[in-house]
Amino acid sequence: MQKGFLPVSKQDMIEQGIEELDFVYVIGDAYVDHPSFGHAIISRVLEAYGYRVGIISQPDWKDENSIAILGRPRLAFLISGGNMDSMVNHYYVSKKRRSADAYTPGGSMGKRPDHATVVYGNLIRKKFKDVPVIIGGIEASLRRLAHYDYWSNSLKRSILLDSQADLISYGMGERSIVEIAQALESGIDVKDICFIPGTVYRTKDISGITGGRDEQYNAILLPAYEEMVNRPERYAKSFGIQYQNTDPFTARPLVEEYPKGIYVVQNPPQKPLAMEEMDAIYDLPYMRSYHPSYEEKGGVPALAEVKFSLISNRGCFGGCSFCALTFHQGRIVQARSHASIIREAERMIKEPDFKGYIHDVGGPTANFRHPSCQKQLKCGVCQNRQCLFPKPCPNLNVDHQDYRKLLQKLRALPGVKKVFIRSGIRFDYLLADKDDSFFRELVEHHVSGQLKVAPEHISGPVLNRMGKPEKSVYDRFVKKYNRLNKELGKKQFLVPYLMSSHPGSTLKEAVALAEYLRDLGYMPEQVQDFYPTPSTISTVMYSTGIDPFTGNKVYVCRNPHEKNMQRALIQYRNPQNYDLVKEALLKAGREDLIGFGEKCLIKPQNQRKKQSGSKTVELGNQKKVKCKNKNDRVSQKRNRVIRNVHQKKVKK
């Protein structure tokens, strides 16, 4: 393997002595050769196996020639929409378009199309009709079977069909992409590559995978696409089956029928990577930067978030309903060795712009460094049971010592001033550990002034739908965190992530959350309104109004105005939210929270505004009370008194 960026132009190919590429990789992001970017990992893995890979980054989808700048690949085109789903990348939950794209040079918006994977696939098919097309990445992985699309409010077909691709490599993809490459290299027609784990293919003949005696290879027939379109409960049932077949040890092939006798078949996932395999992937010769052609545009903003961070694991057994990680990476945690992470840290320290701070050491959940129990690597995960929800499983292996030792080694490296943890701590798992040594070191060494945690809500019915622990668990965590800070002489804070309008949340639950924040004396600066992204349990509940595991109905807030009210309640102290908060309280029958008592959220309208001459006095905001006579000392003194009283209440 040669050191340097992969070719992005014909001139690069000439300079590197490449006459023909084996794979042309079309990506929706800027080309960043860093292991936090999926396209970098896949291209470097293929290179390590001797394949020549070129990159076409953010081609002009209105010009079919933009897809041909590197010529016709010998084996296949690869496509990835980017590190984020292109629709999430482009739109807020309100469906308003974002103004910037962190994965584009200079942060410019509009350099990739909506539904990028589909558009790129059709662009290739228009120019190269007979070249195999393999799609992957988060966008393809989470849309591999029929899925609800929030932006069009419709049930879309498998992305395999809409993109006109031949195969999907779903999940993380390192193993499956190599097996696909080797199959193509051996001369197997892409239409016959139907045997590789971690892939999805189309066929008109399913006789070989149904009706057999071996249950492991006997496919499950999911509800047909047209049936799910007409009957939402069938889609909910289908997703429940899919969710129970995300484990590589127990999963069976899944078959989804489409009109005209077409079937989309999902093979079981790839087996988890061994530690040595993970190490080999992260030891590949990444340039750890964006392509130099982006320098004049100011680089790629997304790199700054991860450049000085270390990935230590993948997979998550947390099981949050609104998270797609189980569907993408699986529940079995895979980890890198200390030696591999230290090697990467030492390379990072030598970079000229390293200031002594490692920004993060983690993954989907930072404090998961091993499978939740030993049987998972032999028998797989439990199909009908979660590891942490609603209570930690008795078989759960709770141990932070490996992670603690890793952090100690990183702290001891010459040139390292501080090692932070920012990728998220699962607080219920932390509390389940009877040994407090990691918790103490977390508070002492790895918090940058404030620790971000994700209780998400406090209402039991909502937490149950979210797959999150009950409120009392978070309260115990807060108490212990504060105690450790006091013992260590630290003044560090908690920043709780909260979510509004999640399925199951009515105005009643939203008001309860506002009351909790009132008693806490905290108003969050940011609130995440529930975002229905593809292939999560919460999105299925949102789209169907049904729990996919129980079949029970679930309340879903879809009305934009009610969503605004639920969000405003969390930030009820913001004067701009007054009207929405008042309306929400009246609709919820909670007029008792409008008044002057200590438990009230807002004051009555007629007491909030008073007329003084022709000027309106806003007592809720209290920036300044304007009077007709500016020299009226009595009025000025009254203003000061009102402001001081209000400020004291806010501090309390």
What Cα–Cα distance (Å) separates residue 191 from each residue in 171, 202, 204, 351, 566? 21, 8, 11, 46, 50
The CA distance from 171 to 175, in Å, is 10
What Cα–Cα distance (Å) separates residue 643 from each residue in 204, 459, 647, 652? 74, 34, 6, 14
CA 386 to chain centre: 20
Q: CA 461, 561, 152: angle at the middle one, nearest 5?
A: 90
Is 323 within any annotated ligand binding site? yes
Nearest C-alpha neighbor of 407 from the set 445, 352, 368, 374: 445
- Spatial contact of 220 and 253, defined as CB atoms under 8 Å apart: yes
Upstream peptide bond of 390 is cis (omega within 30 degrees of 0)? yes
Helix (H) and strand (E) counts in the chain: 25, 24
Measured from the Cβ of residue 224, the count of other Cβ atoms closer than 10 Å reads 18
What Cα–Cα distance (Å) separates residue 429 from each residue in 425, 439, 468? 8, 11, 11
In the beta sheet, which residues pair with residue 452? 495
Integer-rounded Cα Rg, in Å, for the chain is: 27
- Spatial contact of 244 and 209, defined as CB atoms under 8 Å apart: no
- Spatial contact of 120 and 79, defined as CB atoms under 8 Å apart: yes
Name the region of 389 (left: φ>0; alpha: ψ -120 to 50; beta: rest): beta
- Spatial contact of 310 and 361, defined as CB atoms under 8 Å apart: yes
- Spatial contact of 500 and 530, defined as CB atoms under 8 Å apart: yes
Is 316 within any annotated ligand binding site? yes
Record the tokens describing residue 115, joined without a space. Answer: 């539904």
Q: CA 285, 290, 295: angle at the middle one, nearest 5?
A: 140
For the stretch 588-597, contacts whose Cβ atoms lie closer than 8 Å and that sit 24 or more positions apart, written own/partner, are 588/507, 588/508, 588/510, 588/511, 590/511, 593/511, 593/515
Give me the helix-helix angle, 578-587 and 560-570, nearest 10°. Answer: 110
Name the region of 337 (left: φ>0; alpha: ψ -120 to 50; beta: rest): beta
Is 627 within any annotated ligand binding site? no
- Which helix (H) or strand (E) segment holds residue 500: the answer is strand 493-500
Record the tokens describing residue 516, joined without a space. Answer: 């909790």
The CA distance from 179 to 608, in Å, is 68
Eight-class DSSP state of 322: T
The CA distance from 587 to 578, in Å, is 14
DSSP alpha helix (H) spans, 91-172: 116-127, 137-141, 159-162
The CA distance from 240 to 238, in Å, is 5
- Spatial contact of 584 and 507, defined as CB atoms under 8 Å apart: yes
Provide the annotated binding site for [4Fe-4S] cluster: 316, 320, 323
Residues annotated as binding site? 316, 320, 323
